[in-house]
Amino acid sequence: MRDNRGHVAAPRGRRALVLAAALSTALALALVLVAPPDAVQGDAQRWMYLHVPAAWSAYLCFAVVLVACLPVALHDAGRPLAVARAAAEAGVVLTAVTLATGSVWGAQTWGSWWVWDARVTTTVAMGLVYVAFLAALTLATGPRGRRTAGTAGVLGFLMVPVVHLSVVWWRTLHQPPTVLAPGTDAPIAPVMAWTLAVSVLACTLLTTVVVLDRARHGAGHDSPLAVADPDEARQRLPVAP
């Protein structure tokens, strides 16, 4: 078997990563509590500090899937896909968190728990694409299946710009982007921007810890020979938080 990419965050690196994740999470929670409410939305706007980091981390996970799948899709069908699987799993969970927090935020500000506008519709589609990718990866036992799954993992990333720019391309109920907006200064008060930045950092670090841990523990089962019983493999994985 090839070298296991999961080992990049070996014990010492992992400890530093966990410490950084814990510290930034504590700081983020403190900032979220002391940040001022929004002039228009009031306290409901605080959902932004969970909704935006979850969405960003989901994008990041799907970028990791893209990078991990590229060699498999292009030439080397035997390369381990444990990192891609772990990142896709985390990305799907984070997409669900994005939809759930967006739903509550929408109930409080829009007046509706759920609308099928372009942002919500494309986000659901993005989640389904990676659910399909994970199923395809589980079903892939030979080189051909793995190449198919890898290609899905590469092409699936096309959903990320579609989701992000959906609020620019189509008229939606969702507002246009604030921070990663094309060509404008972010119309957000500095204290809110800092709170959001620390929240995004904390969520990114927590996601990195979870993805690396799951990739490391799942790696032994990720080879064309070892996926004979994926249920058995799954039972040996730690449960995601």
Partner 1 sequence: MRVALPRGRGRAWAVLVIAALGLAGLLASAAQDGLTYWGTPSELLAQGAMDRDVRLGGLVVSGSVAQDATGASFVLTDGATDVTVHYAGALPAAVREGEGAVVEGVLDGQVLHARSVLLRHSNEYRPPEGAP
Residue 152 to residue 106: CA distance in whole angstroms: 32
Bridge partners (DSSP) listed for residue 220: none
| Binds partner 1 (CB under 8 A): choice among 4, 25, 121, 204 | 121
Measured from the CB atom, the residue of 118 and 205 that comes closer to partner 1 is 118
Residues 196-225: x where in contact with partner 1 by CB under 8 A, - otherwise, as a string? ------------------------------
Is 18 among the residues that bind partner 1 (CB under 8 A)? no
Is 30 among the residues that bind partner 1 (CB under 8 A)? no
Measured from the CB atom, the residue of 5 and 214 that comes closer to partner 1 is 214
Within 10 Å of residue 8's Cβ, how many Cβ atoms? 13
Is 117 among the residues that bind partner 1 (CB under 8 A)? yes
Could you tell me the smallest distance in angstroms from the CB atom of residue 99 to partner 1? 13
Per the CB < 8 A criterion, the answer to whether 218 and 84 are in contact is no
Per the CB < 8 A criterion, the answer to whether 234 and 145 are in contact is no
Lookup: tokens for 196: 């959001």
Per the CB < 8 A criterion, the answer to whether 186 and 193 are in contact is yes
- At 42, give phi and psi (nearest 5°): 70, -145
Per the CB < 8 A criterion, the answer to whether 79 and 72 are in contact is yes
| Binds partner 1 (CB under 8 A): choice among 103, 166, 207, 208 | 166
Lookup: tokens for 109: 């500000």
Measured from the CB atom, the residue of 149 and 205 that comes closer to partner 1 is 149
Return residues touching partner 1 (CB under 8 A). Answer: 36-41, 45, 48, 109-112, 115-118, 121-122, 124-125, 128-129, 131-132, 134-136, 138-139, 166, 169-173, 175-178, 181, 187-189, 191-192, 229-231
